Structure 1
């Protein structure tokens, strides 16, 4: 243990990151910026080639930072997993999606661990960062890694440290976000904590086990899922009662304690919040336990896209138009404002629900010119002209991008269904309806 900690302190350790996506690439960049020789691993040639050319494809990475560390030789990428043998510490940052039955697909984590085994050596630290169900590190990774013949806590060190990436957040990035670390043994925790202490400018919170760290991550996002589910349900009720839910929330958040504002919308997006509760509810069934409150919030949130389609139909009906054959324009396909990420985007779900009802759908998103979902490619319009707005029977704001000119949109649209309260500062509201 002392040997690897010394290498971390004197910056002679070689660090590896498996998976160069929204989590892995920013982490690898911070490692290299801290002065470590860093190797990035990915199965996609395109990503590897872009990294080695110093070309960035992740919004939260500063282009100049990537160029500097690549040109200096501190950071290289490869598809050759034999290079793992050169690494003293390896972080696994691969996707953990849900399968078609809404069950955790941890095949990427499993294959990553199996790829490491042939190249493991004494003193190596391995950290899983991918969000997953409690027990993954010890039940899945530990047996695979110990098949190398090395003993965890003595010959190598294994820990879980949940990623905390919020794409587009201007205040908190990888470097200044507090980190939670839980190792299989006390030695494992201390070595993993030493790694992150040498890279980040944020507190490192040590917990007693990987399972605690895994559950902590699930709690973070399930907390948000439940509260968003609550406010989505209240939004539906308030609409029936003729009450403005957005005004209600603004009034409630005037209380300086005991209340945190959450906002309704067309559903949940991103890799974590819509998925994490499914990991927990799936694992809970192993213990004969049903997460009733969590599952209820998931049902509410999952139905919001369909609810938005229903509301759109009622708006069109008010103007004696059938939704079947109506021209509808979605503004925003990203799952949150001012980013180019459409993973699990509720806007895509709204698109699908409206298509099922026979509407002619188009979209405009300045960050996403085209996207692929379930093998189908969709291409948006290139510019938001008054003609495009005026020709649409209904414009639906599904992402509250700050570079939209909402006064312009209101002026040239027949009717706007604002699911994000993005037009709150628009004075003329005669053709605007809020979720």
Structure 2
């Protein structure tokens, strides 16, 4: 059965897009070569932690959304949006494998006048030098003449119920002006505001700038938090005071590490970046180095606190609170909790955890004991470490019950716990 839209890749980008499209009355099919998302969606469950609730999935299905693993469906749509994952590989270059697979699946079925949109986070130049050749070679069609091609990087904040696709401006950069307008016509049905970039590279670089902005600023406050601790300065009070400035300052807060789907990128590094040699983004590399050190710093603070109270890490009972990368969601993408748990285990600690959104948590493929009673577990633990401040946590009450409490988020009342 023909559909207006195909969403390719049913992950943290594709699912919210499909939901918004179905809500807007757009006949939508969701394609993913992996059978697991298909099976989960057909069973009324979200295949991605924190992306959609079960009730939202059921409403999508009842609204006409059709998940499929049959690539033939891609040849029957007017618009195809590629939302494939583009993680960093071992060499910290963006891995375009899933994007290439999606492009080839679409290309062999691409029809004239189709609009193809790329939402995956990619280095500048990818739409033109990687995606376009795959689509043209596989279809025999020419982008900009026979079909429209544009980039509109995903901007959603997973778990944020206030900022949705409808009220988050959509940046669009087409291969030609006609490509841009075709993309704008599609996204205009889903969002209140469309922002036209000069071209695909500008749209791609917008995402790079937004992601790197976050990581660089978090690195700044992470580094200052370490310095302030050494100087005996309450950095959380410093932030409280600084954020009263009505101009020229935006508050960021330190933490045990940086998680999430947006990874810092030096667009000169990957093969499709088009950078002249000798111009790396040094600040981005330094920010990544600083942020990558934070889990080790948290462990250092744990060891110091235990030692000050006559205990060692080896044999200590340590309770980790909140193992997701952001509060009030089940999404664990790149959360620092796993590295912290791994290192503490290597040092001989007995690790337990509590998280209201994660009922089963594994480190090195082994289940970590989950605390049934939070207060009892905190009272029994030699050290409790707050890694994520879910709103269900009564931190003042927790500070009273815990033998030792290390707050890596600055969420506890001043003086109630040891803060990062």
2:352–2:371 CA contact under 8 A, matched in 1: no
Paired residue secondary structure (1:370):
coil
Would you say the 8 A contact 1:394–1:416 is kept in 2? yes
Within a 5 Å distance, the mapping from 1:319-334 to structure 2 comes to 319-334=309-324
Q: Which moved more, 1:56-65 or 1:145-154?
A: 56-65
- Say which is worse superposed, 376-385 or 361-370, in terms of deviation: 376-385
Query: Which residue of the partner structure matches residue 226 of structure 1?
Result: 216
Counterparts of 1:44-63 in structure 2, within 5 Å, are 44-57=34-47, 59-61=50-52, 63=54
Range 275-284 or range 338-347, more displaced: 275-284
Aligned partners of 1:386 and 1:54: how far apart in 2?
A: 34
Structure 2 unaligned blocks of 5 or more? none
CA–CA separation in structure 2 for the residues paired with 1:106 and 1:199: 27
Is the 1:332–1:397 Cα contact (8 Å) retained in structure 2? Answer: yes
CA contact (8 A) 1:183 1:209 kept: yes
Q: Contact conserved, 1:268 with 1:301, CA < 8 A, in 2?
A: yes
1:312-353 Cα offsets, whole Å, 9 max, x none, are 111011011111221111101000100000010012222122
User: How far is the alpha carbon of 1:114 from its aligned partner?
Assistant: 0.6
TM-score (norm 2): 0.94
SS of residue matched to 1:29: helix
Match of 1:348 in 2: 338
Compute the displacement of 1:170 (Å): 2.6
> How many correspondences in the alignment?
415
2:127 matched residue in structure 1: 137
Match of 2:382 in 1: 393
Shift in Å at residue 301 of structure 1?
0.5
CA contact (8 A) 1:281 1:295 kept: no
| Equivalent of residue 370 in structure 1, options 360, 363, 366 | 360
Structure 1 residues 263, 140: CA separation in 2 closer, same or farther (over 3 Å shift)?
Answer: same
Q: Over residues 134-184 of structure 1, what are the superposed CA-to-partner deviations in whole Å (9 max), with x where a residue is unaligned?
A: 111111001111112111111101111010111121310122211000011
Whether 1:83 aligns to 2:68 is no
Give the root-mean-square deviation of aligned CA atoms: 1.9
- The answer (yes or no) to whether the contact 1:325–1:360 under 8 Å persists in 2 is yes
Q: CA deviation at 1:63?
A: 4.7
Q: Residues 83 and 95 (structure 1 numbering): CA distance in 2 closer, same or farther, change over 3 Å?
A: same
1:423 aligns with 2:408: no
The 10-residue stretch of structure 1 (362-371 or 12-21) with the greater mean CA deviation from structure 2: 12-21
Structure 2 counterpart SS, 1:39: strand
Question: By how many angstroms is 1:371 displaced?
Answer: 3.6
Q: For the residues of structure 2 that align with 1:281 and 1:402, how far apart are their CA atoms?
A: 39
Partner of 2:144: 153
Length-normalised TM-score, structure 1: 0.91
C-alpha distance 140-263 of structure 1, shift in aligned 2 (>3 A):
same
1:251-400 matched pairs, under 5 angstroms: 251-272=241-262, 275-278=263-266, 281-282=269-270, 283=273, 287-372=277-362, 376-400=365-389
1:405 aligned to which of 383, 394, 418: 394
Kept in 2, the 8 Å contact 1:369–1:382? The answer is no
Contact 2:45–2:53 (CA under 8 A) maintained in structure 1 = no
8 Å CA contact retained: 2:36, 2:47: no
